[in-house]
Amino acid sequence: MILLIDIGNSRTKYILANEISTGQAKAVDNNSIKVQWLDHHFKGIEKILIASVSADAIVNLISDWARINRIQFKQIESEKEAYGVISSYQQAKKLGIDRWLAMIGAARLYPNKNILIIDAGTATTIDLLAADGQHYGGWILPGIHLMFDSLVKHTSKIEPPQTLVASVAFGDDTNTNVNNACWAATIGAINLAITQASKQLATIEVILLTGGNAKSVEKLLKYPTRIEDNLIFYGLERYNLA
CATH 3.30.420.40 matches 2-75:
yes
**pLDDT value for 154:** 80
DSSP class of residue 229 equals T
Rounded mean pLDDT of the chain?
A: 94
**pLDDT value for 150:** 87
98 is catalytic: yes
Q: Which residues of 149-173 are buried (b: 16+ CB within 10 A; e: fewer)?
A: eebeeeeeebeeeeebebeeeeeee
> What is the C-alpha separation between 28 and 99, in angstroms, rounded?
21
**pLDDT value for 125:** 97
Q: Which amino acid is at 212?
A: G
Residue 242 has a CB neighbour count (10 Å cut-off) of 6
> What is the C-alpha separation between 91 and 200, in angstroms, rounded?
22
**pLDDT value for 134:** 98
Going from N- to C-terminal start, the domains of the chain cover 2-75, 81-144+174-241
The catalytically annotated residue of 98, 119, 132, 172 is 98
**pLDDT value for 161:** 65
**pLDDT value for 190:** 98
Query: Going along the chain, which residue ranges are E strands?
Result: 2-7, 11-16, 26-29, 47-52, 72-75, 81-82, 85-86, 115-120, 123-129, 135-142, 206-210, 226-227
Superfamily of domain 81-144+174-241: ATPase, nucleotide binding domain (3.30.420.40)
> What is the C-alpha separation between 118 and 121, in angstroms, rounded?
9
Which residue stretches of the chain have pLDDT < 50? none
